[in-house]
Chains A and B, each alone.
Chain A
Amino acid sequence: QQQVKQSPQSLIVQKGGIPIINCAYENTAFDYFPWYQQFPGKGPALLIAIRPDVSEKKEGRFTISFNKSAKQFSLHIMDSQPGDSATYFCAASLIFGNEKLTFGTGTRLTIIP
């Protein structure tokens, strides 16, 4: 019930391509879905987040698509650049009454020039 399943485990995309990372959850009480980005040797940092009252959110080249009925959400990176190479984690939490995040297992993304 508390799991967030993330795929793929790793992804290699050419510069300019659109990598897509998918996450699925079971707990319908989750209502906050952030994505964290982690560069080698650094801690994860919040990239973008969405609440289920919208189906899509864009911030620059990063877009979250949310499908409430399917209990799935995904991260798309437009015009991907080598500097986007990092590990990406999806996560979920309750908006009220739960202080912690449940993280997916991570996707190691490599953008090749």
Chain B
Amino acid sequence: DAGVIQSPRHEVTEMGQEVTLRCKPISGHDYLFWYRQTMMRGLELLIYFNNNVPIDDSGMPEDRFSAKMPNASFSTLKIQPSEPRDSAVYFCASSAGLAGRYEQFFGPGTRLTVL
């Protein structure tokens, strides 16, 4: 398997623009997680899905952030409008089951810079 695939790898945009990050989880995995990593706050869980259904979005910072998982092989994280403080590395991860029993596999991340 190719592992978790994220695109784009780098995104530079201007404040106010819409940004869409994409993720393809490992085939057969039924959990998908979106994380944000910054120097100040470390690795934060934004939202996760089970069988394409959002389970916990308590980590989503504001209404400007939204995530969807239309099918088992694709998810998006959208920021609209983007702000400079959204600059971070965004990771998608997937797992075959509960965190306490199954490893989470992370993608390579998308480095977002909002000017």
Contact = CB atoms under 8 A, between A and B. Distances in A.
Interface string B41-59: 0110100101000011000
Most buried by B among A44, A93, A96, A106: A44
Interface string B91-115: 1010101111101111111000000
Contacts of A42: 108-109
B91 A43 contact: yes
Contacts of A97: 98
Contacts of A93: 98-100
A61 interface: no
Most buried by A among B91, B93, B103, B104: B104
A43 B43 contact: no
Interface string B73-107: 00000000000000000010101011111011111
Interface of B is mostly: strand
A100 B107 CA distance: 17
Interface residues of A, number: 23
B43 A44 contact: yes
Nearest to A101: B99
B24 to A, nearest CB: 14
A106 B42 contact: yes
Given A42-B108, A100-B56, A95 B98 contact: yes
Contact of B99 (A43, A44, A100): A100
Most buried by B among A46, A89, A101, A105: A101
Interface of B: 4, 31, 33, 42-43, 45, 48, 50, 55-56, 91, 93, 95, 97-101, 103-109
